[in-house]
A and B are shown apart, each in its own frame.
Chain A
């Protein structure tokens, strides 16, 4: 009886495996190609924007804890005041630094995804930014990753969705000026919602700064005939002065 029961278990497990195998797609979608940011909503969304299900809803503000919220709001106020006075505070762009993660996924300029078996490579045209998502590789501990602009990313496929996780982002590399700690963890779910529209649902987790995970969704539209251009900071006339203000070198 015990043998018969064991046999049934084996058969059951085999059947389950076969069923799972049938459900899981044999191959994941290859969404390789060039894309541009799509579906931005500035101001009030129009009726057409609301009706278009390929346009993600407006992203929520960062759910910051009180202390970091004050630092963030003070920073925004300082930026606005400096702009009002015509003495803008220098951002990393002034020194021709790339966005880093996850800002590069905002695709200020066109972005390219290269889906290969062991790696998904993402290239953002502005500043020629490149990041690599290693497929089916173990995640590292935060302390084992040297902090950088793009961090260390691993990913796996859940059906048609590329699920990626990133750690190791320098604290000064901020998304929309929102502060974070070295423990920032970025989770992405990247999937097609239409044949030529890709969504990236980006969730930032950082319990010391955020009261709950913060998810923003970025949409991209395929650019079928576009090849990313080179972008080299060949003559950067902007610079950051001693007061952190953006200046420009003028040829007189």
Chain B
């Protein structure tokens, strides 16, 4: 190589390195929020307005009031957390089913399974139940790996997925240590299910997808039908604390379906909220804390 070639080579390598470093640094620096913030996010909800507050009211009613209070603040002043009292959980899986019904989840997609653990030796045996929603980590490992900025943490702490941008690479699925993200592979519970037998034969007739499976889900305040392989088919899917319900003053469906009042939800920025009270009073634990994800779902053991 002569001197000119050497300088050109150095220039190309240097230019490439400088460009790479600059784009990496740019994307690592704090960026303005993707979501709308400020007054536009304040919700004046009339839920429970005409119901007098009592000291002994059900935790659900109290949490609902607190939800309305939180929604009257701009989004960046809220910070949603969930507390699960495992001592009260009976493993009924109502939250799992409620979530599936609310979000119209297809086969293989689950936002809130309940893990059952058996401990001890007969006769001293015990069953423990551990509902596992998305942890909505304060330092999520799933969001920075997304190559197209399709998932991020909102100012109120909810980790969301943009179904219209997600390319379905499933990198985030691998990055989540809790297995809280699942991919929608485009299946339907009723596709290929037997509908009956024709009059002249004994073979079952396999029908089309049941119409109830084409009902739209309202995740992220939009309508998602999954028909014609539309999103969220092919996308990563996860618990979003029923964001669409929060916007209209309703608690996440896993909270309202919990028969044992074992799941609590609220704004941790509100010092008078039930979740803050529980978190302070109890020795709350998080799952696999050593990865440093700072999960925002806490467990009372």
A and B: interacting chains: no
